[in-house]
Amino acid sequence: MKTTSIGTNMTLDPDAFLAAADQGDFVALQQRGSEIGVIGIGTTRAGRSVTWVDGGVPGALPAGMATATAAFLDALQGTYGPRIYGIITQSLELPQSGDALPSALVHRAVRLAKASQSLFAGANFMTRLQFSAAAGGEALAAACARIGMTGDEFGAGRRLLADQLFAKAFKDASRNDTIQVSDGDARALFDQALRQAATSDPEAQG
């Protein structure tokens, strides 16, 4: 049976659980020396019988299975953040920490997480397009008015720098697209990027 091993000093990734879910009906953790293996147990899709555990019988649930549920929930929240984790918990009936972790649920939870992240990524992309110092236009004029400056004070170099600062700040705010950045928050980040660019070396104006 295929085992996905991850160092104990690393955060378990949802994709490791997803790979293990392809191997059986339930997912468990297995300690192997200094590594933790995420494994699938039960009956494989190819019909191969592997160690079967009846989660309904008191005392029949190995620690590796109980630990897997808690680790999977932690991995979902750690990778996708509290906003997407909240969507998952509201949409799916997740097992409690200590319960068995069905492979089918792993697939549903990860699919929903990835779909939510893609949705946020699309929304954030459209928001970012509204703000560009290099492109000028109304967005730059409005931002300059808010910070008490004019577009003439931003040469090509400073505009480029402002856009670079804004892109980094926006990426940090979106937390890898696990959060949808609002127009108001994006506007504040753009204003701050212009302020920072305005204090750069005059030669950077191009």
Q: How far separated are the first and last CA of the chain, in Å rounded?
A: 61
Partners of 26 in the β-ladder: 41, 102
pLDDT (tens digit per residue) in 10-19:
457 898 888 8
Query: What pLDDT score does 42 carry?
Result: 59
Phi, psi values for residue 159, rounded to 5°:
-65, -40
Entry pTM: 0.74
